[in-house]
Amino acid sequence: MMNILVKHRNIYRLIAFFLMWILASPLSFSAEFYVSPAGQNSNPGTKKAPFATLSKALNAVKAEFHHSPDQDCTIWVDQGTYRISEPIRLRSAEFHNQKGALTIAALPGTAPVISGGVEVPKWRRTSDGLWKADLSKLFPKHSEFRELFIDDRRAIRARYPNEGFLRVAKVGADRRTNFFFEAGDFPIPASVEQTELILLHDWSISRIRVQDIDLSLKKLTTVDSIGARQPAFFNLDNWEPNPRYFLENDLEFLDADDEWYYDKIENVLYIQLPTEQNPNDHNITIPVSHGLLDLSGSMEQPLKNIRFEGLTFKHAAWIIPDRGYGGVQACHFDPRFTKAESKDLLPPTKGWAVVPAAIKGDWTENNSFTNCHFKNLGGSGLWFGTGSTNNTISNCTFEDISGNGIMIGEGRDRTVNGQPWWQEAPEQVAKGNKITNNTIRKCGQQFFGAVGIWCGLTAETTIRENEISDLPYTGISIGWMWSPVPTPCRDNTLENNHIHHIMQQLSDGGGIYMLGLQPGSKILHNRIHDVNLNVGRAESNGLFLDEGTTDVVVANNLIYEIAKSPLRFHRATTNIVRENQFFCKENIRPIRYNTTREGDIIKIDNQVFVVGEPAYQKQLSEAIEQWEARRKEKN
């Protein structure tokens, strides 16, 4: 009997202890909401009665956080396409979560799409075999759009020539706004005022409307400067006496399958497809929403603990200024905005303008995108900007994007109290952000000077184990100061990235391009190859450490199949280069020094192999195998 009483007493003590532990512990709740194309916003947002839109679900989450800021919330998104005409806005002033996190995730086994596009209906065939659609029910006349997508592939804005480039015969007297061509170089456009010139500089491009084509003089004139107005080296013939160009957007150029032309005066869209295809059997989409997600916090109250999982983001629009796009570098460009246009400009027009991203976050903290897809986008992809800390982008794909793929931090132009932010308020630097295990390809589809990953003046940024490929320009660009002047840029790590088949259109870049003083920064164990096209005046490289690069360690990188030097310094200062493997073509130096003192570069135990040596191919194969094995072991 006593044993039974003791046993019961022990049980009661355990129950009492458990109840006391519960009462003493902070309670953790979780609220779940569901969204489905088959739902209704008048529903309660349950699994059986879901909402129809993400905006409605977000409003429900705001209400939950208002009452219980420490609870977690989840929005489950069902299979389907969710079309928006303006960005979904998440603002910290409306989210009162403290410890609570919000997860916006695809339901298991689904792949929902957030689309900023509209489908084009009712195509009919013309007498010359093209297809046309009247857009008067979608857009007013004189509308602008720059992309068209057939199912998941980017259609080609009608261009001449279809492949390759034309060459300027002679640059005009002002070297900026006009040039001469040879007779027969291109078909004369039917609508000159809608035609766009695309001219390639060394590391950037211009996109600018044609003002006039004088057939008697064989002279083409544009509406503004071809190339950025400043610096002065953007003169048309600075890099090449006969620079490359092509023309876009005229019915005369519409002569190949998957090409399209929009006549904004008639408000009619034309497309050419293979003979057996009917556009009415395809999803043909025009992006209309200028951005898809706007994540906005403040210095006092950052937007935090928002997680996106398993979602696809497609069809964001961005229209270049009416006076044209004069690229400077990495989707920064010469600002030429009217007052109406400048409302969408980031940053303000005081400095260089920037091609905006479909998903943009400022003053964000501990947010993440995991297993998401970003594709068919008109501007850039995803940008964690000013004051963004400890955000993560992992296991995502970025593909078919007009501008940069991923952007972190900001450049030099923003001011605080009338002074450059990086001098007046360096604590506002984007810090501790991570980009890991993503696939980034086919960026720069419209703005060839784009890069796969761009980081401005950032601190403690980690870029690790990403595959970056098929780019017209550079793979990763980090730093944004063309001198060793101190900034908050420091302790950035680029490690175990596989970068290949880049620099396919432009020059003077590389697999990794770095700028400025970055104490504590490291470029480690990256594999870079197939940088074989070099056009313009300057060469391209595996690693290019440009002006002011200082206090950087370059170690254990594998670089091969590079047309020029695997590593180049230009106006750099003291850096360490150790234990790298440089595979060089004949008569190519492994390291090139442009206005850099060779003695300032400390070189330790680097291996150099040259094409033609007896064991070259065997050594390269072994090096690749070792790199792959090391990466698998780390994963």
Are 189 and 213 within 8 A, CB to CB? yes
Alpha helices in 83-200 (DSSP H): none
pLDDT single digits (tens) 351-387: 899 999 999 999 999 999 999 999 999 999 999 999 9
Are 316 and 116 within 8 A, CB to CB? yes
Rounded to whole angstroms, how far apart are CA atoms 635 and 630? 9
Q: How many C-alpha atoms does 258 have within 13 Å on its Cβ side?
A: 10
Q: Which of 434, 477, 433 is nearest to 452 (CA)?
A: 477
Would you give the DSSP letter of residue 389? B
DSSP assignment of 49-64 equals: S-BS-HHHHHHHHHHH
Q: What DSSP element (H or E) covers 353?
A: strand 353-354
Q: Which of 118, 445, 148, 152 is nearest to 269 (CA)?
A: 148
What does the block give as tokens for 478?
A: 């980090």
Percent of the chain having pLDDT more than 70?
94
Are 600 and 572 within 8 A, CB to CB? yes
Q: Which of 188, 242, 235 is nearest to 210 (CA)?
A: 188
Q: Environment class of residue 139 by beta-carbon count within 10 Å: exposed (0-12), middle (13-18) or buried (19+)?
A: middle
Question: Which amino acid appears at position 285 of this protein?
Answer: T
Strand, helix or coil at 476? strand
pLDDT of residue 18: 45
**How many whole angstroms from its chain centre is CA 342?**
21
**How many whole angstroms from its chain centre is CA 263?**
29
Low-confidence ranges of the chain (pLDDT < 50): 1-2, 4-7, 14, 16-28, 346-349
Rounded to whole angstroms, how far apart are CA atoms 399 and 512? 19
Rounded to whole angstroms, how far apart are CA atoms 173 and 105? 58
What does the block give as tokens for 289?
A: 């929403």
How do strand 284-287 and strand 81-83 relate by DSSP bridges? unpaired
| Domains, the chain | 24-115+308-318+357-405+419-472 (2.160.20.10), 117-285 (no CATH), 478-635 (no CATH)
pLDDT of residue 535: 74
DSSP assignment of 63-103 equals: HHHHH-TTSEEEEEE-SSEEE-SS-EEEEGGG---SS--EE
- C-alpha angle 496-501-507 in degrees, rounded to nearest 5: 110
What does the block give as tokens for 277?
A: 């295809």
Cα torsion through 182, 183, 189, 194, rounded to 10: 20
Alpha helices in 413-510 (DSSP H): 421-424
- C-alpha angle 297-335-547 in degrees, rounded to nearest 5: 85
Q: What DSSP element (H or E) covers 551?
A: strand 550-555
Q: Tokens 């044993």 map to which residue?
A: 3
Q: How many C-alpha atoms does 63 have within 13 Å on its Cβ side?
A: 9
Phi-psi region of 279 (alpha: psi -120 to 50; beta: other; left: phi over 0): alpha
Q: pTM score, two decimals? A: 0.94
Q: Which of 555, 562, 617 is nearest to 588 (CA)?
A: 562
Q: How many C-alpha atoms does 399 have within 13 Å on its Cβ side?
A: 11
Rounded to whole angstroms, how far apart are CA atoms 152 and 314? 9
> Residue-wise over 363-378: b if at least 16 C-beta within 10 A, else e?
bbbbbbbbebbbbbbb
How do strand 131-134 and strand 124-125 relate by DSSP bridges? antiparallel
How do strand 196-200 and strand 244-248 relate by DSSP bridges? antiparallel
Q: Which of 233, 191, 463 is nearest to 329 (CA)?
A: 233
